[in-house]
Structure 1
Amino acid sequence: MSTRPAGYSAISSYSRVEILHLIQERPQRTVAELVSATKLHANTVREHLQRLIDDGYVVSETEHRTTRGRPRVLYSAADGGRSFSPVQQRKVREAAQRGDLMRRVLPSELPPELTTEALHQVDALVENLADAGFDPLVNESELTIDLTPCAHAEVQAEHRQVLCSVHLGLMQGVIAQAGGPLTVDGMRSSCDPRECIVQLSTRG
């Protein structure tokens, strides 16, 4: 579990969550587009984007122009497919190293139910979730990650749908960047907004 408080996370600010949601819905967004959609000042949007880049959630690229004019900077979510974040890749490697070390120091009497690649994906996902303020509990046999009680359910209840969508996109991006057989299927539905269980699956 992370020792950093939930407030440390780049996605603890709803303004950044909103920006990330827009970028996840459609990549290669410009600052001007995000300003128009969020009604935030351009400098505020740039600050939020930089924080998201620093935490490995967003990547930027300069557009290729064939006409005159300054090329624009385009922002996309680090989804582990089209867009890779060097920050997130470093975090994934470090999470795998820590996970391997922990398994050597505290070996289980039973063999792991997941392959090494899958375990490294789970390592990356668990650390990312812990940094976002969750306390994830992994069930290897059922391929679930229990995030109950949801750290964001009551604090930002009115934005639950957007928050869940953003967190799901982040998890899919992290597990894709880690590489391996696992994918994120989604979240199990529940009447209790504080209850959140993420379902994983193996490809094929």
Structure 2
Amino acid sequence: MAAYSAISSYSRVQLLHLLQGRPQRSIAELCEATGLHANTVREHMQRLIDGGYVVAETEKRTVRGRPRVLYSAASPDEASPIAQRKARDAARRGDLMRRVLPGAHAAGLPTEALHQLDALTDDLGDAGFDPLVDESALTVDLSPCPHGTATDADRRVLCHVHLGLMDGVLAQAGGPLRVAGMAPSCDPTQCVVRLAG
């Protein structure tokens, strides 16, 4: 099973991890932190921007010289137009499905929360996951985790990035839901994400 298509390489996961930890980073800073070549980092950043996970902003300079491009993980404070468009499209499709299949969503969630779940389900589906959303329990089951066999250190980074991306999708969609964390499990292939609203 593929992970998020925009972060199918561990190098992009590492870059996103750095941006989630501290926004407004330049290519030079990202190269220094990862040991990757500048052209490789630029390619990775463009893939992440195209996926709606990263936003780029030209530095505002008060001195002479070429301004740098600064990169940040998409968030409510650093909105991605691509992520916002994806969320609107998902909400339209979800509304259509709810009209066609009335009663399919019986949890009594407000429309904004349903639109958030639409966006999250679409994003995870586009990435190759088959999420099982429980609207009553507010959980998203992604088991079996395709990264369950990764080393503990790599899995911590992967989980942190994935949870951050999921929370970003929910935030970009607008509404009350946020990622609360992962349900504890002794089996690393089990991945159930808890939401709160």
TM-score computed with the length of structure 2 as normaliser: 0.94
Deviation at 1:21, TM superposition (A): 0.6
Deviation at 1:179, TM superposition (A): 0.7
Q: Can you give the 5+ residue segments of structure 2 that lack an aligned partner in the other structure?
A: none
What does 1:4-83 correspond to in 2, within 5 Å? Answer: 6=2, 9-79=5-75, 81-83=76-78
Deviation at 1:102, TM superposition (A): 1.3
Aligned 8 A contact 1:21 1:162 in 2: yes
Aligned 8 A contact 2:4 2:124 in 1: no
Q: Name the residue aligned to 1:122.
A: 117
Deviations along 1:116-153, whole A, 9 cap, x unmatched?
11000001011111222221111111111111111222
Letter in 1 for 2:60: H
Deviation at 1:49, TM superposition (A): 0.3
Aligned 8 A contact 1:134 1:151 in 2: no
Percent identity over the alignment is: 68
Deviation at 1:109, TM superposition (A): 6.5
RMSD value, Cα: 1.6
Output the CA distance in 2 between the equivalents of 1:8 and 1:165: 13
Q: Name the residue aligned to 2:145.
A: 150
Q: Does 1:86 align with 2:81?
A: yes
Output the CA distance in 1 between the equivalents of 2:93 and 2:170: 16
Large movers: runs of 4+ above 3 Å: 109-112
TM-score computed with the length of structure 1 as normaliser: 0.91
Letter in 1 for 2:108: E
Letter in 2 for 1:20: L
Q: Can you give the 5+ residue segments of structure 1 that lack an aligned partner in the other structure?
A: none
Aligned 8 A contact 2:56 2:70 in 1: yes
Deviation at 1:111, TM superposition (A): 3.9
Deviations along 1:147-193, whole A, 9 cap, x unmatched?
11112223x44510000000011011110111111111111121100
Deviation at 1:6, TM superposition (A): 2.4
Output the CA distance in 1 between the equivalents of 2:178 and 2:114: 12
